[in-house]
Amino acid sequence: MLERIWSAWRSAYVSETPVRSSADSADVDAGSVFSQILESGAPDAETHIVHRGRTCFVIMNLFPYTPGHLLVIPYREVADLDQLSPDEASDLWVTVTKATVVLRAAYHPDGMNIGLNLGRPAGGSIPDHLHVHVVPRWTGDSNFMSAVANTQTLPESLVDTATKIRDAWA
């Protein structure tokens, strides 16, 4: 017997993405999905940008592993860490550190995963624009759903999560 778990609100994540991924686009000159978001002129609340810094910004992951899953991204589109200027590299890690402080204040996680996937073979879905994942984690947050049903449950919408993070960032 096939079981279904309905999370209808998640359909917006799939069907209403504000811009296309450059990896899926015939227009290579359009840049990464992150560059497209920045160039769209859309308000931060619509694009889920929660912080803008000097050389990088922070955006909600459109397909989060857990509530509060953030991406810290340099404005300049580069594929690898060694392509960052010293100022960009410094600002990136200062912002990653601040993101951990913000997530602790907003969500009180038991721990965090912080990482990069450099290149498509490493799992990078947007390999031309490096981004650091900052993922809050809780003891027991991986439950039977992912192991048995290949399903993930998230307890709040991206809009609610972004509001909490913007408030904590301030």
- Do 67 and 161 touch, CB atoms closer than 8 A? yes
Q: Distance between CA 162 and CA 170 in Å, rounded?
A: 12
User: For the CA atoms of the chain, what is the radius of gyration?
Assistant: 16
Bridge partners, residue 59, by sequence: 49, 71
Q: Active-site residue among 48, 69, 131, 133?
A: 131
Active site residue 108: no
Catalytic residues: 131
